[in-house]
Structure 1
Amino acid sequence: MTKADLVYAISEKTGLDKRTVLNIVEAFMETVKDSLADEKNVYLRGFGSFILKKRAQKTGRNITRNTTLIIPEHNIPAFKPSKEFSQLVK
């Protein structure tokens, strides 16, 4: 499902026009990105959580130059579905 498909489906269920739904979806995604950038998790009861996972420092290799490099510790965004959501998908 693409963003356009999502906007169409929400528009059909709610009766709102597509432009309004698109603005709401865009605002939701922007808010989630901003919260994760500020290192704040987003919890949506019954749906899931958008969280940050910390990746430890590790050693990598540049195979073209045959050199070793250090990849620093960093955060990556992740989604953890709720129990109800996971059971629905199974």
Structure 2
Amino acid sequence: MQNPGTVTRADLAEAVYREIGLSRTESSELVESVIDYICEALLKGENVKLAGFGTFSLRDKKERIGRNPKTGEEVPITSRRVLVFKPSQVLRERVDSALSPKK
């Protein structure tokens, strides 16, 4: 069962089907191709910039000391690479205006 408020791959494929008019199979394949392309670029260490949407990039985080919230015990957190998404100004403005109370 789909989580309310969550957009899935199937939802994206359905939107492509409705808006573009490709067959459902072609729409699904197109969505999968785009997602695969983004994943492959990130695996190569490349940034993915989608104009008007945002930028996906990888960031290296250094080793640091964290704290177990239950016990308060200090625990080392190893260095790692994380995926970061930075929304574009256009996306931020659209989301802000959609979520702002209307006067």
Question: Scaled by the length of structure 2, what TM-score is found?
Answer: 0.72
1:47 aligned to 2:53? yes
Structure 2 spans left out of the alignment, 5+ residues: 1-6, 69-73, 97-103
- TM-fit CA distance, 1:72: 2.9
- Give the alignment partner of residue 30 of structure 1, picking from 7, 20, 36: 36
Distance in 1, Cα, partners of 2:84 & 2:67: 25
Matched, 1:7 2:2: no
Dislocated runs of 4+, deviation >4 Å: none
Cα RMSD of the aligned pairs, angstroms, is: 2.0
Which of 23, 32, 41 is matched with 1:17 structurally?
Answer: 23
What is aligned with 1:65?
A: none
How far apart in 2 are the matches of 1:53 and 1:7?
A: 30
CA displacement 1:1-42 (0-9 Å, x = unmatched):
221111111110001111111111111111111111111101
Partner SS state of residue 51, structure 1: strand
Higher relative contact order (CA 8 A, sep 6+): 1
CA distance in structure 1 between the partners assigned to 2:67 and 2:54 by the alignment: 35
In 2 relative to 1, CA 88–61 (structure 1 residues): closer, same or farther, beyond 3 Å? closer
One of 45, 54, 63 as aligned partner of 1:57: 63
Secondary structure at 1:88 match in 2: helix
Work out the number of aligned pairs and report it.
87
- Structure 1 residues 71 and 47, CA gap change in structure 2 (3 angstroms): same
- Structure 1: any 5+ residue segments left out of the alignment? 63-67
Q: TM-score, normalised by structure 1?
A: 0.81
Structure 1 residue 60 displacement after superposition = 5.3
